Amino acid sequence: MVEMLPYLLIGALAGSGISGFIAYKLLSHARREAAELENQLRSHSFELQITLDELAEKNRLLEKQSRTDSLSGVFNRASFDQQMRAEIKRSRREQRPLALVLLDIDHFKRINDSLGHLAGDQAIKAVADIIQQQLKRPADKVCRYGGEEFALILPTTDLQGAEQLAEQIRLALQNCELTLNGQPYQLTLSAGCYASIPEADSDNDEYIRFADEALYRAKHLGRNQIQSYPSVISVSADAATGVLHEH
């Protein structure tokens, strides 16, 4: 039995060595698999992040398209309704005036009848561009209200400030040399202004009704002019331009 002891020790050592080698190989293999799995996870996470970023960008574009008028590039009627409600709530809470200006291209039907609908589209784009050029504050929004009519949402603006901005836009359009369907054309517009600090029951319809009444008066009095509700302050077609009141 004593004679077998060296062999047993050798066998035990050999077994330990083999077991250690096998364990080392298994551990190395496991580490390689873990590293490969980690690399795959990083790669998939990176690809997933790219996909999520692309999806978010597409959602932003879709949201922008849903809020933008495809012809003029300004906010559409649905966006007007939403933003107007939000501004009424904010103005009521802060007790600051909110102004609405409705602007209508004069004799727009004549453009479509005499020059065609393509010229009418060009006129709408041109007026939208001119209006946007006159807006200096990020909070001021221009929307295509419908057809040839636009709406300006002017937070923290009183009636005089709304009239002055509307007059700036009217003069800018009157002094602009436009070409519609290859022909020179003089465009003018009429505008109706309304401003107030909203009451508890104030809503979109109230602002639209009073601004529209002022717009109707501007057209009835000969077009190419600014009128307001109430009609205590008005800016005629020959009045000098002013600066929008900053509050």
- Exposed / middle / buried, residue 247 (Cβ in 10 Å: 0-12, 13-18, 19+): exposed
Q: Which amino acid is at 2?
A: V
Tokens of 133: 């050029």
Integer Cα distance of 172 and 177 in angstroms: 10
Spell out the alpha helix ranges (H) of the chain.
Answer: 5-67, 77-94, 108-115, 117-134, 159-174, 204-220
| CA torsion through residues 51, 54, 55, 56, sign | positive
167 is catalytic: no
Name the catalytic one among 87, 148, 163, 167.
148
Integer Cα distance of 168 and 194 in angstroms: 16
Tell me whether strands 189-196 and 183-185 are parallel, antiparallel or unpaired: unpaired
Query: Mind telling me the catalytic residues?
Result: 148
